[in-house]
Amino acid sequence: MIAAVWIIGTFVAIGVIGWLFRAAGRAAGNRPFFRDMPFGVAYGYVFGVFALAAGVWLWTLPKAVFFRWAVMGFVGFAVAAWLFRLAGRHIGTARTRKLFRAMPLTAAFGIMIILIYAITAIFAAWIAPHAQQEIFTQANIVPGGDPALGGNPLFPLGTDQIGRDILSRLIYGAQNTVGIAFATTLIAFTVGGSLGFLAATLGGWLDQLLGRLVDVLMAIPSLIFALLLMTIASVWAGGEKWLLTVYMVLIIALIDSTRVFRLARAVGQNIVVMDYIEAAKLRGEGLGYLIFREILPNATAPLLAEFGLRFCFVFLTIASLSFLGVGIQPPLADWGTMVHDLAQFINFAAVAPQVASAPLLAASAIALLTVAVNFVVDWMLHRSSGLKE
Amino acid sequence: MGERLLTIKDLYIEGRSDETWTPIIKGVDLTLDKGEVLGLIGESGAGKSTLGLAAMGFCRDGVRISGGSVDFDGIDLLNASAATKRGLLGKRIAYVAQSAAASFNPAHKIIEQHVEAPVQHHVMGRAESIQDGIELYRRLRLPNPEQIGFRYPHQVSGGQLQRAMTAMAMSCRPDLIIFDEPTTALDVTTQIEVLAAIRDIVAQFDTAAIYITHDLAVVAQMADRIKVLLKGDEVEEADTRTMLSSPQQDYTRSLWAVRSFERPMKPAVATGAQPVVSVRGVTASYGKVAVLHDVSFDIHAGRTVAVVGESGSGKSTTARCITGLLPPIEGEILFDGVPLPANYRKRSKDQLRQAQMIYQMADTALNPRVTIGQIIARPLQFYGGLSGSALRKRLDELLDQIELDPKIYRDRLPSELSGGQKQRIGIARALAAEPKFIICDEVTSALDQLVAEGILRLLARLQDDLGLSYMFITHDLATVKAIADEVVVMKDGRVVEQGEKNEMFAPPHHAYTDLLLSSVPQMDPDWLDQLLAQRGVDNIGDAAVDKM
């Protein structure tokens, strides 16, 4: 109750100060900046100052460890992205340099993170200090590498409950989780995209048939549907763990291809009515030429954007399935499974932040990639819409 | 008249493109007295609309006013506060946009949008404003003035919507209205009604207006003075009669001369000659709605048949029947005396090759992701099987034929070309198939007059060189006069009249042909008055009711 009064009081106070701020600006010279300022903007300025002050205050609190980490991480990534963009503006071909010059910082951050993940995934075997399934005698070493807090410099991010090196498993996780997600998204797009364009071009009963089929598949909640199919698949796979992974890729690809189908069909329908398609039809062109040479080049922008988003969803689905124990199977390292295995440590957040950070490492690896991919997608969407004008 | 209302001095406006600011308006002066109508004319890209908006102290996103002043009745619009401008716009300065259909909110009734400004500006109460709206609709000669406001924008025709928008601009009795090409999107017959309505109401309320258009004949009816713009610069300014009778600058004279292009008549077709294309009793429908009724005409080798009519008269549908996109219910299409399969999917590659099409909107007719070279090369590969250097040679020949330099344009994308150049690419793509017959669907209606004339001359030359036959779909009778040998007039899916061009343009006409012909604006400032006197004002009102 008291808290509510405080919160409402603060907002009212900000409003009063904002009004005074604008009035003061108008009294002193009445420049167009203050003269044409709506109250909402004045409120925003004061709110920003309040938020900044609150942040500084929070920073000084000894208990706000995670807040300090978050701020340090944010500033660190921003600086790294800025340097990355600076490098991109001076290194590379004329085309990439031009690309980097017009790039917002968020997109540079996204590309940087994706590059780092890609390199980590490809060279995991060389980068990782240990193998992903190697078990050491010391279990539950605290991350941080500080012996006073229960860490060990040999395992900078600690070990899990059965003594596997978390750093190595994070690095291999990039390979497994990201690699499988990429393959899955690719399959979903090939299937969904082709069928979507086909439905848009031919129309008629094929369009109806595919459309209703997709409706049926989309009517079932996707995670529950995936779980159901995975249960069946685990029987089919028998004991073969690699076969189960293949089934998982196909199942998620099937479920996600329905969303891609919808998009490809909608985009395709807008393109099919264009006069240049009519001209190609009247020329007597075949279906393959129409779809791949006339429609596809004009649909790349929305499809690429969807690819980025879909990749994140697939990635999260795999992580969720692994968290539930039916996804990527041990001993393969996987971020979803790692969060699941170490989840109980989160309870120590109040007393021992170092200990609690163990499950958060894998979780933030997932979060970081999701954010990065979305930044890049936003940028691509912006660019493609700018081209249309 | 006499009292100064608007003064624009030495105005500079810049637009942002590729990180740099390029000038759009380069130091233009403009003055307007109370109750005066100023016509602004020029090609697209001349900065007419930008200047029109600047007269309201407004510029679009990505555009900034970099110098000069705009003074409206003693108020400096460029330095006025947002609150001051809010008080002026809609109340004392109003704007009528080119596309009324795009400017009305489709979710609200017309009258609801009409009363917004007066109520907002405390000029009138809601009920009073509705009454006033109905009165304005009556004065603008809208049919059913009591009820029409209570419809949604999609329920009335384009010409009526344009008048409703003029009524909306009038709702606060502004001192100044900016008309930005209000009749460009309308048919000639509808255009007359809108022009007459706008002119009368502006005169009745002694409103000053800036009338922006690219059509000289239209501006001649509307304006007291005309200002000609070219690429952001003023070419010349004079009052309407002086400007029309003795233009001073070369550029202005070239604009005036456009309408004079007319190719010589060809000798009449020998009796019994085999027509290239013969449309025989074609009836067609979209679903259950019949759109064509027993349409028949012939197109002979080396000749141009113009198909004329308002939008919705079935011109383009006839073309879709000929190309096979819309198989007719009855009747057939003969090509060189041989019946064509009704559906284009059943036609042979050679039958498809012989009949090509050029589209109205070059923007949507060319794939934006494919280079010019590839666009033109595709028919060459597809029909002729050309490849390598032979393909390259033929491609360059074609680009030369349409008067574009192959070295410069071969590797460009359509977005890097102007509207006229894009239309030329469309022509080259059709020529690449080496057809006997080309359907030109409103190919010049989206282009400026000078550019359109260039396209018409090109088509005429290609016909002489290659012996092509054209079916030329258009609603513009000036174009018909320029290029046609024979004319087919269509209305409501029926052929109303057909014959040689000379016969068609000489009386006696069919009543509908007469209406079409007399509706084409002439370069005579008294034309509209004379026409209205001839037809009688009530007659126009009736025509509008007929269109309902």
Residue A30's region, left for phi above 0, alpha for psi from -120 to 50, else beta, is left
**Min Cα–Cα distance to chain B from A168, Å:** 45
- Taking CB atoms and an 8 Å limit, are B429 and A285 in contact across chains? no
The pLDDT-based confidence of B546 (bands split at 50, 70, 90) is: very low
Residue with tokens 């057909």, as numbered in its chain: B498
Q: What is the pLDDT of residues A35-63, one digit of tens each?
A: 888 889 999 999 999 999 999 999 998 88
Is A279's Cβ below 8 Å from some Cβ in B? Answer: yes
d(CA B412, CA B417) in angstroms, rounded, equals: 8
Per-residue confidence (pLDDT) for residue A212, from 0 to 100: 94
**Using a CB-CB distance cutoff of 8 angstroms, which residues of chain A are in contact with residue B79?**
32
User: For the whole model, what pTM was predicted?
Assistant: 0.76
Q: What is the pLDDT of residues B250-259, one digit of tens each?
A: 888 777 766 6
3-class state of residue A24 by DSSP:
helix
**Using a CB-CB distance cutoff of 8 angstroms, which residues of chain A are in contact with residue B361?**
275
- Taking CB atoms and an 8 Å limit, are A297 and B382 in contact across chains? no
- Ordered DSSP codes for A351-363: T-HHHHHHHHHHH
Top residue of A272, A274, A300 to mutate, by most chain B CBs within 10 Å, is: A274
**Min Cα–Cα distance to chain A from B426, Å:** 10
Q: From the list A275, A281, A297, which residue is nearest B364 (CB)? A: A275
Q: Is the pLDDT of residue B154 over 80?
A: yes
The contacts of residue B533 (CB under 8 Å, 6+ apart) are none
Per-residue confidence (pLDDT) for residue A79, from 0 to 100: 93
Is A389's Cβ below 8 Å from some Cβ in B? Answer: no
- Ordered DSSP codes for A253-317: HHHHHHHHHHHHHHHHHHHHTSHHHHHHHHHT--HHHIIIIIIHHHHHHHHHHHHHHHHHHHHHH
- Mean pLDDT is lowest, of B98-102, B272-276, B401-405, for B98-102
The residues spanned by each domain of chain A are: 1-60, 166-385
Q: Is the pLDDT of residue B391 over 60?
A: yes
d(CA B30, CA B11) in angstroms, rounded, equals: 9
CA of A102: which chain B residue's CA is closest?
Answer: B19
Average pLDDT of chain A to the nearest whole number: 86
Best CA proximity match to B295, nearest among B148, B437, B490: B490
Mean pLDDT confidence for A269-275 = 89
**Using a CB-CB distance cutoff of 8 angstroms, which residues of chain B are in contact with residue A36?**
81-83
CA B335 to chain CA centroid, nearest Å:
32
- How many Cβ atoms from other residues are within 10 Å of residue B185's Cβ? 17
CA of B357: which chain A residue's CA is closest?
Answer: A279
The pLDDT-based confidence of B260 (bands split at 50, 70, 90) is: low
**Using a CB-CB distance cutoff of 8 angstroms, which residues of chain A are in contact with residue B368?**
298
β-sheet with B93-96: strand ranges across = B93-96, B176-180, B208-213, B37-41, B225-230, B233-239
Query: Max Cα separation, chain A?
Result: 81
- Taking CB atoms and an 8 Å limit, are B367 and A298 in contact across chains? yes
- Taking CB atoms and an 8 Å limit, are A36 and B344 in contact across chains? no
Average pLDDT of chain B to the nearest whole number: 84
- Mean pLDDT is lowest, of A193-202, B180-189, B432-441, for B180-189
Per-residue confidence (pLDDT) for residue A206, from 0 to 100: 92
d(CA B470, CA A366) in angstroms, rounded, equals: 63
3-class state of residue B441 by DSSP:
strand
Per-residue confidence (pLDDT) for residue A256, from 0 to 100: 92
Tell me the backbone φ, ψ of residue A354, rounded to 5 degrees. -60, -45
Mean pLDDT confidence for A334-353 = 79
Tell me the backbone φ, ψ of residue B28, rounded to 5 degrees. -100, 135
**Min Cα–Cα distance to chain A from B321, Å:** 12
**Using a CB-CB distance cutoff of 8 angstroms, which residues of chain A are in contact with residue B344?**
281-282
**Using a CB-CB distance cutoff of 8 angstroms, which residues of chain B are in contact with residue A384?**
none
Per-residue confidence (pLDDT) for residue A340, from 0 to 100: 77
Per-residue confidence (pLDDT) for residue B545, from 0 to 100: 39
Q: Is the pLDDT of residue B432 over 80?
A: yes
Residue with tokens 């004339």, as numbered in its chain: B453
Is A297's Cβ below 8 Å from some Cβ in B? Answer: yes
The pLDDT-based confidence of A135 (bands split at 50, 70, 90) is: confident
Interface of A with B in 359-388 (CB under 8 A): 387
Please report how the helices B449-466 and B250-257 are oriented relative to each other, as an axis angle in degrees rounded to 10.
50
Is B255's Cβ below 8 Å from some Cβ in A? Answer: no
Spatial contact of B308 and B516, defined as CB atoms under 8 Å apart: yes
Mean pLDDT confidence for A75-97 = 88
Q: From the list A35, A276, A298, which residue is nearest B365 (CB)? A: A276
The pLDDT-based confidence of A82 (bands split at 50, 70, 90) is: very high
The contacts of residue B523 (CB under 8 Å, 6+ apart) are B216, B217, B220, B244, B256, B259
Q: What is the pLDDT of residues A235-268, one digit of tens each?
A: 888 777 788 888 889 999 999 999 999 999 999 9
Interface of A with B in 159-188 (CB under 8 A): none
- Mean pLDDT is lowest, of B101-105, B286-290, B542-546, for B542-546
d(CA B290, CA A76) in angstroms, rounded, equals: 69
**Using a CB-CB distance cutoff of 8 angstroms, which residues of chain B are in contact with residue A22?**
none
**Min Cα–Cα distance to chain B from A292, Å:** 12
Tell me the backbone φ, ψ of residue A117, rounded to 5 degrees. -60, -45
**Min Cα–Cα distance to chain B from A309, Å:** 24
Top residue of A282, A290, A294 to mutate, by most chain B CBs within 10 Å, is: A282
Sequence letter at residue B212: I
d(CA B28, CA B26) in angstroms, rounded, equals: 6
Is A284's Cβ below 8 Å from some Cβ in B? Answer: yes
**3-state DSSP of B442-509:** CCCCCCCHHHHHHHHHHHHHHHHHHCCEEEEEECCHHHHHHHCCEEEEEECCEEEEEEEHHHHHCCCC
d(CA B366, CA B388) in angstroms, rounded, equals: 23
- How many Cβ atoms from other residues are within 10 Å of residue B345's Cβ? 12
CA of A285: which chain B residue's CA is closest?
Answer: B382
- How many Cβ atoms from other residues are within 10 Å of residue B408's Cβ? 10
Spatial contact of B278 and B334, defined as CB atoms under 8 Å apart: yes
- Taking CB atoms and an 8 Å limit, are A282 and B366 in contact across chains? no
d(CA A380, CA A302) in angstroms, rounded, equals: 9
Q: From the list B19, B344, B364, which residue is nearest A282 (CB)? A: B344
Residue with tokens 């209406």, as numbered in its chain: B515
Mean pLDDT confidence for A336-353 = 78
Top residue of B353, B367, B425 to mutate, by most chain A CBs within 10 Å, is: B367
Per-residue confidence (pLDDT) for residue A386, from 0 to 100: 53
Q: What is the pLDDT of residues A4-31, one digit of tens each?
A: 999 999 999 999 999 998 888 888 877 7
Tell me the backbone φ, ψ of residue B144, rounded to 5 degrees. 55, 55
Distances (CA, A) of B60 to A65, A92, A365, B53: 49, 37, 44, 8
The pLDDT-based confidence of A385 (bands split at 50, 70, 90) is: low
Q: From the list A36, A102, A279, which residue is nearest B357 (CB)? A: A279
Q: From the list B324, B365, B415, which residue is nearest A279 (CB)? A: B365
The pLDDT-based confidence of B156 (bands split at 50, 70, 90) is: confident
For this complex, say whether ipTM is above 0.95. no
The contacts of residue A258 (CB under 8 Å, 6+ apart) are A192, A214, A217, A218
A-to-B residue pairs, Cβ atoms closer than 8 angstroms: 54
Mean pLDDT confidence for B505-531 = 78
Q: What is the pLDDT of residues B330-354, one digit of tens each?
A: 888 999 888 989 888 889 988 999 9
Q: What is the pLDDT of residues A162-197, one digit of tens each?
A: 778 888 888 888 888 888 888 999 999 999 999 999
CA of B361: which chain A residue's CA is closest?
Answer: A275
Tokens standing for residue B347: 């036609």
Higher pLDDT, A385 or A388: A385
CA A29 to chain CA centroid, nearest Å:
48
User: Which burial class, exposed, middle or buried, applies to A56 when counting CB atoms under 10 A from its CB (0-12, 13-18, 19+)?
Assistant: exposed
The pLDDT-based confidence of A78 (bands split at 50, 70, 90) is: very high
CA of B349: which chain A residue's CA is closest?
Answer: A284
Q: Is the pLDDT of residue A199 over 90?
A: yes
Is A98's Cβ below 8 Å from some Cβ in B? Answer: no
The contacts of residue A105 (CB under 8 Å, 6+ apart) are A78, A81, A82, A85
CA of A37: which chain B residue's CA is closest?
Answer: B82
Per-residue confidence (pLDDT) for residue A210, from 0 to 100: 94
Top residue of A30, A31, A275, A385 to mutate, by most chain B CBs within 10 Å, is: A275
Could you tell me the sign of the dihedral formed by the alpha carbons of B216, B222, B228, B229, in that order? negative
Q: Is the pLDDT of residue A137 over 80?
A: no
Per-residue confidence (pLDDT) for residue B540, from 0 to 100: 45
* Best mean pLDDT range from A205-209, A316-320, B188-192, B400-404: A205-209
- Taking CB atoms and an 8 Å limit, are A297 and B369 in contact across chains? yes
Per-residue confidence (pLDDT) for residue A200, from 0 to 100: 92
**Using a CB-CB distance cutoff of 8 angstroms, which residues of chain B are in contact with residue A283?**
352, 378-379, 382-383, 433
Is A285's Cβ below 8 Å from some Cβ in B? Answer: yes
- How many Cβ atoms from other residues are within 10 Å of residue A13's Cβ? 12
Per-residue confidence (pLDDT) for residue B454, from 0 to 100: 85
Is B82's Cβ below 8 Å from some Cβ in A? Answer: yes
3-class state of residue B132 by DSSP:
helix
- Taking CB atoms and an 8 Å limit, are B325 and A278 in contact across chains? yes
- Taking CB atoms and an 8 Å limit, are B382 and A35 in contact across chains? no
Per-residue confidence (pLDDT) for residue A209, from 0 to 100: 94
Is B370's Cβ below 8 Å from some Cβ in A? Answer: yes
* Right CATH for A166-385 from 1.10.3720.10, 1.10.1670.10, 2.40.50.100, 1.10.260.40: 1.10.3720.10
The pLDDT-based confidence of B493 (bands split at 50, 70, 90) is: confident
**Using a CB-CB distance cutoff of 8 angstroms, which residues of chain A are in contact with residue B81?**
32, 35-36
Spatial contact of B495 and B305, defined as CB atoms under 8 Å apart: no
Check residue B275 and report its DSSP letter: P
- Taking CB atoms and an 8 Å limit, are A36 and B379 in contact across chains? no
CA A192 to chain CA centroid, nearest Å:
21
Q: Is the pLDDT of residue B413 over 90?
A: no
- Taking CB atoms and an 8 Å limit, are A283 and B82 in contact across chains? no
Higher pLDDT, A156 or B205: B205
Strands B63-72 and B208-213, how do they pair?
A: unpaired
Best CA proximity match to A175, nearest among A242, A128, A121: A121
Residue with tokens 């084409």, as numbered in its chain: B520
Is B321's Cβ below 8 Å from some Cβ in A? Answer: no
